[in-house]
């Protein structure tokens, strides 16, 4: 039995974000977060390990992200990159 508050993947194995069914409330997977941020999955895992990115642990090992948290993180990340270039 799956919790109702977590996104359910379709029978095709495609996450709700990639299938176009996601809403703002659904937590994102590591792969979806990497795609949203424009970085590799490995980079997202490194940020999680270093506690540099806001994340949730679901059922112990599964990592999920809330889109509003990623939007704020992306804004600070882009600011840092802009400052480093200038």
Is 56 a domain residue?
Answer: yes
Number of folded domains that form the chain: 1
Is 31 a domain residue?
Answer: yes
pLDDT at 12: 45
Q: Is the torsion defined by CA of 85, 43, 11, 69 positive or negative? A: negative
Q: What is the pTM of this model?
A: 0.64
Is 36 a domain residue?
Answer: yes
Digit-coded pLDDT (tens) for 58-85: 988 899 999 999 999 999 877 666 677 7
Residue-number span of the structural domain to which 42 is assigned: 27-85
Is 38 a domain residue?
Answer: yes
Residue 15 has pLDDT above 70, yes or no: no
CATH at 56: 1.10.1660.10
Digit-coded pLDDT (tens) for 40-53: 999 999 999 999 99
Is 79 a domain residue?
Answer: yes
Is 62 a domain residue?
Answer: yes
What does the angle CA 60 – CA 69 – CA 63 come to, to the nearest 5 degrees? 20
């Amino acid at each position: 039995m799956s919790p109702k508050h977590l996104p359910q993947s379709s029978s095709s194995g495609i996450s709700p974000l990639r299938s176009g069914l996601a809403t703002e409330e659904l937590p994102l997977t590591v792969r979806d977060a990497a795609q949203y941020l424009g970085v590799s999955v490995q980079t997202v895992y490194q940020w999680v390990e270093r506690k540099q990115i806001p994340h949730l642990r679901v059922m112990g090992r599964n990592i999920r992200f809330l889109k509003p948290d990623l939007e704020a993180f992306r804004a600070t990340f882009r600011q840092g990159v802009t400052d480093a270039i200038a």
